[in-house]
């Protein structure tokens, strides 16, 4: 039986992203680690970054040591996946130093290094970013066109998308519609990647801190949803209605229930032109954010990006980040910064 969800979103374009949102009770805590020495000339210091990651994990979990900290997030039988962002090439891919620190922590908790999957839709540019496929011991995976998607894991939303080569249901390469035909295939269905549907049971979500011209912020919510489905372009362009569906995607059991921790890589942050690498709009922010609340992290990142944009007299992007506000309204987390506490874990 296909896994389906019908996303029906009520969207108000006039609503400010930092307005009161509900219904998640209480407050969310986002832990922040900042060290100016962590990044210099676009190069991360592995020892400093490792210490930052370790402080964050200890703070989030409240455990006295790393083995117990990671052990409180994942069980020995879990299949662990680390979702990175690899769209930024050499200088704006999730830093391998952050990933290596996470992997070492998981190993300390009893997980075998070669069982851990680190992935994104595409891994172009990861070698330039310092990743060493095969040398670090964990699995580096991309999502194969067509075959990397699960025929039975389907997300349905009332927004039509034009299918292209690589989407599961695209048939132009198999004769139903000639490859060079001017006819378009459209669908209201997306398929989840097999990695999230069947290969991992727990996800550590490690996005970069970046703006998006179409979605406002490419943060925790975006990073673990859009890159893990096909027929995704319909949610990154056009009306805010389509963009808000990202919150529904995160709420799907194959995604949200598997995410045990979000660590946003803000060592280098971008406030325009992201998530691709745009050095002219990059900041050595030297900060990592961690929380179990992806919405709160995204709201903090969006506010920070807006501050940078305002200083550079760039137009605001918050009106495009509909998914953050809607995720707050769904109860995934807090989009209202008055209900978010930032706790520094600096040295």
Task: Write out the DSSP string of 21-34.
Answer: --S--S-EEEEEEE
pLDDT above 60: residue 20? no
Q: What is the pLDDT of residues 193-227, one digit of tens each?
A: 999 999 999 999 999 999 998 899 999 999 999 99
Pairing outcome for strands 28-34 and 340-344:
parallel
pLDDT above 70: residue 183? no
pLDDT above 80: residue 64? yes
Of residues 5 and 239, more confidence is placed in: 239
Dist CA 153 CA 156 (whole Å): 10
Q: What is the pLDDT of residues 267-284, one digit of tens each?
A: 999 999 888 888 999 999
pTM higher than 0.95 = no
Longest dimension (CA), the chain: 62
| DSSP for 16-73, written as a single string | -TTS---S--S-EEEEEEE-GGGEETTEE-HHHHHHHHHHHHHHHHT-SSHHHHHHHH
Which residues, 6+ apart, have CB-to-CB distance to 37 below 8 Å?
45, 48, 286
Every domain of the chain and the residues it spans:
28-148+193-344
- What pLDDT shows up at residue 298? 98
Residue 25 binned pLDDT confidence (cut-offs 50, 70, 90): low
pLDDT above 80: residue 23? no
- What pLDDT shows up at residue 346? 82
Q: What is the pLDDT of residues 34-58, one digit of tens each?
A: 999 999 999 999 999 999 999 999 9
Among 137-151, 238-252, 262-276, 309-323, the range scoring the smallest mean pLDDT is 238-252
What CATH code would you report for 28-148+193-344? 3.40.50
Q: How far is CA 63 from CA 217, 261, 342, in A?
A: 31, 15, 19
pLDDT above 60: residue 17? no
pLDDT above 60: residue 304? yes
């Amino acid at each position: 039986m296909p896994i389906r969800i019908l996303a029906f979103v009520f969207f108000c374009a006039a609503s400010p992203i930092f307005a009161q949102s509900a219904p998640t009770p209480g407050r969310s805590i986002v832990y922040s680690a900042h060290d100016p020495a962590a990044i210099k000339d676009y190069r991360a210091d592995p020892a400093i970054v490792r210490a930052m990651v370790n402080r964050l994990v200890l703070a989030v979990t409240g455990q006295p040591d790393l083995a117990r900290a990671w052990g409180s997030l994942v069980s020995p039988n879990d299949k662990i996946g680390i979702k990175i962002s690899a769209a930024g090439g050499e200088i704006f891919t999730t830093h391998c130093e952050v990933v290596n620190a996470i992997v070492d922590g998981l190993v300390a908790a009893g997980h075998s290094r070669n069982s851990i999957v680190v992935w994104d839709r595409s891994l172009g540019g990861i070698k330039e970013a310092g990743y060493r496929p095969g040398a670090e011991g964990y699995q580096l995976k991309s999502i194969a066109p067509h075959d990397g998607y699960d025929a039975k894991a389907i997300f349905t939303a009332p927004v039509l998308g034009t299918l292209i080569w690589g989407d599961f249901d695209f048939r132009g390469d198999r004769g139903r519609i000639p490859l060079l035909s001017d006819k378009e295939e459209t669908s209201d269905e997306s398929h989840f990647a097999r990695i999230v549907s069947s290969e991992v049971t727990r996800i550590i979500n490690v996005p970069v801190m970046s703006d998006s011209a179409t979605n406002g912020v490419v943060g925790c919510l975006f990073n673990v949803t859009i890159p893990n489905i096909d027929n995704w372009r319909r949610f990154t362009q056009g009306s805010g209605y389509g963009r808000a569906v990202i919150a529904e995607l995160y709420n799907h059991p194959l995604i949200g229930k598997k995410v045990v921790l979000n660590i946003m890589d803000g060592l280098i942050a971008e406030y325009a032109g992201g998530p691709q690498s745009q050095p002219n709009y990059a900041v050595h922010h030297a900060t990592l954010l961690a929380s179990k609340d992806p919405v709160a992290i995204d709201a903090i990142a969006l506010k920070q990006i807006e501050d940078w944009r305002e200083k550079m007299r760039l137009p605001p992007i918050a009106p495009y980040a509909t998914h953050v506000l809607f995720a707050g309204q769904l109860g995934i987390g807090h989009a209202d910064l008055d209900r978010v506490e930032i706790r520094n874990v600096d040295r």
